[in-house]
Chain A
Amino acid sequence: MKPFQYTRPESLVHAAQLSQDTEALAIAGGTNLLDLMKLQVETPDRLVDINRLGLGEITENTDGTLRIGALVTNTAAANHPRIRADYPVLARAILAGATQQLRNKATTGGNLCQRTRCYYFTNIDQPCNKREPGSGCGAIEGVARLHAVLGTSTECIATYPGDMAVAMSALDAAVHILAEDESERTVPVRDFHCLPGDTPWRDNVLEPGEIITAVTLPPPVQGKQIYRKVRERSSYAFALTSVAAIIAMEGDRIARADLAFGGLAHKPWHDPRLSTLLVGKLPSAALFDEAGDLLLEDAQGFGENDFKIPLARRTLAAVLAEATETEI
């Protein structure tokens, strides 16, 4: 690990000010960042420790929303009575990720900012446009089993690795961000992460000098909530594909279908056309197929990850069948 200066700021604004320096990085749980520092993928001159700045609470707002402080651990979030009862898709997604040891340390804000597990990104001897702009992408014609099939670019086919944010995308949660000039902004989770395009080094919309302070969940909605994660072993593995779903019925017809997907793209994938297609329809195998067609119409495999396209289609169908109690 390269030497760095360790700083514990006195306030959130002070933390944001220190984070303006492009050679500084904020540290919360550190489970991803310290790993990347050991690999010299991240080499900050300064670590800004944002722990103990009072962002560790979950609060119920009077408008029915639930505010999760950025430093709430994954364990605390998954075990919060309101999250278990009203947002089970989120509790389930968090519990499906990592291990208990990591979830005890990992935080809500840090989980949103975790970096891809692309093998080329984490190996400094390999080309990677995300880590070293202009060096090329090793994965496009290389080992690409974990990689994206939607929203890729000629620069980068990495995936966003997390589970928590996939559920937050389905729930249409919002990220609260504080800037160094004390201004605040709110970004929907669905718009927080970026597609690689021609700026693959950019994972999300955070600017230097900005820190995440909280995530707000909208008031709870009716319906069945499911998080289905498909992976190579049954625990402690990243998603090959995952589906977060909130599905409500009205009589025989689908009344709500909020869906987001993990393991398919550089961000939790949300396609609003799926809801438009499904709502008002009678559930059937044919309808679920149509949803799969729509989701994957622009999907492109890179050899080793071609399997993700039929896998995503089947996982979506299985989740919709379970949620609507339909035989397929």
Chain B
Amino acid sequence: MADYITVNDTKHPLPDDPRVSLLDFLRQEVGLTGTKKGCDHGQCGACTVIVNGMRINSCLALAVMHDGDTVTTIEGIGTPGAPSALQKAFVEHDGYQCGYCTPGQICAATAMLDEIAHGMPSDASDTLEGEIQISDEEIRERMSGNLCRCGAYANILAAIRDVAKEKAV
């Protein structure tokens, strides 16, 4: 059993208290506060991070259960000086109002583009096989685990659509 979690390429020791969620671990022990606590019950998606390539709700995970895992948070996706394509698109399209859900939206969308590239179907897909046809319906379904209480959905969708279509070309 490894006694650390790798967060954005840096190893951090596991917490002593098994009750510490991966979310609280990231924010309070690692000091990366980009990942947000919204509902703390897996309903809003603000705490979304990428663990071993898969997006999860970090509020519904115990840090001690992730020993040896590799976590990417919003801080590992891009920086103000070198933002990722999605981060740039969110700025260009004004894909937020208060910005609280944005790190979760971008982490979720980053993983979502990989899922599409790997041909993973969604509930909105017409067939379970073959290449995914990117549509607004597909993006909405795949992003349904990320709520935006400001209701910036139209611009979030536009930002993701831009990057998804660029990737698909």
Contact = CB atoms under 8 A, between A and B. Distances in A.
Interface string A227-242: 0000000111000000
B40 A102 contact: no
Contacts of B89: none
B19 A95 contact: no
Nearest to A81: B129
Contacts of B38: none
B117 interface: no
Interface of B: 1, 18-19, 21, 40-42, 45, 48, 54-57, 60-62, 64-65, 108, 111-112, 115, 120-123, 128-129, 140-142, 144-145
Contacts of B129: 84-85
A35 B45 CA distance: 14
Given A30-B60, A105-B57, A100 B65 contact: no
Given A84-B121, A235-B141, 14 more contacts: A1-B19, A8-B1, A30-B65, A34-B60, A35-B42, A35-B60, A49-B65, A78-B121, A79-B121, A85-B129, A99-B144, A100-B122, A105-B61, A236-B144
A47 interface: yes
Contacts of B18: 4-6, 47
Contacts of A47: 18, 62
Nearest to A99: B145
A92 B128 contact: yes
A17 interface: no
Nearest to A236: B144
A34 B56 contact: no
Contacts of A168: none
Contact of A101 (B56, B64, B122): B56
Contacts of B19: 1, 3-4
Interface string A44-63: 00010101000000000000
Contacts of B141: 234-235
A148 B105 CA distance: 35
A101 B61 contact: no
A1 B59 CA distance: 13
A91 interface: yes
Given A84-B128, A84-B129, A92-B128, A51 B65 contact: yes
B123 A88 contact: no
A34 B62 contact: yes
Nearest to A235: B144
Contacts of A31: 42, 57, 60
A135 interface: no
Contacts of B65: 27, 30, 49, 51
Contacts of A108: none
- Closest CB pairs A-B (n = 7): A99-B145, A235-B144, A6-B18, A104-B54, A84-B128, A236-B144, A95-B123
Contacts of A35: 41-42, 60
Contacts of B45: 99, 101
A88 B57 contact: no
Given A8-B1, A49-B65, A100 B115 contact: yes
19 contacts: A35-B41, A38-B40, A49-B65, A84-B129, A85-B128, A91-B121, A99-B145, A100-B108, A100-B111, A100-B115, A100-B122, A100-B142, A100-B145, A101-B55, A101-B57, A101-B108, A105-B57, A105-B60, A105-B61
A101 B54 CA distance: 8
A30 B21 CA distance: 11
Contacts of B55: 100-101, 104
A75 B54 contact: yes
A247 interface: no
Interface in A302-323: none
B123 to A, nearest CB: 4
Contacts of B61: 30, 34, 105
A49 B61 CA distance: 12
Nearest to B128: A84
Contacts of B145: 98-102, 236
B128 A102 contact: no
Given A91-B128, A101-B108, A236-B144, A38 B57 contact: no
A319 to B, nearest CB: 16
Contacts of B56: 101, 104-105
Nearest to B21: A34
A265 interface: no
A211 interface: no
A79 B120 contact: yes
A30 B18 CA distance: 13
B160 to A, nearest CB: 14
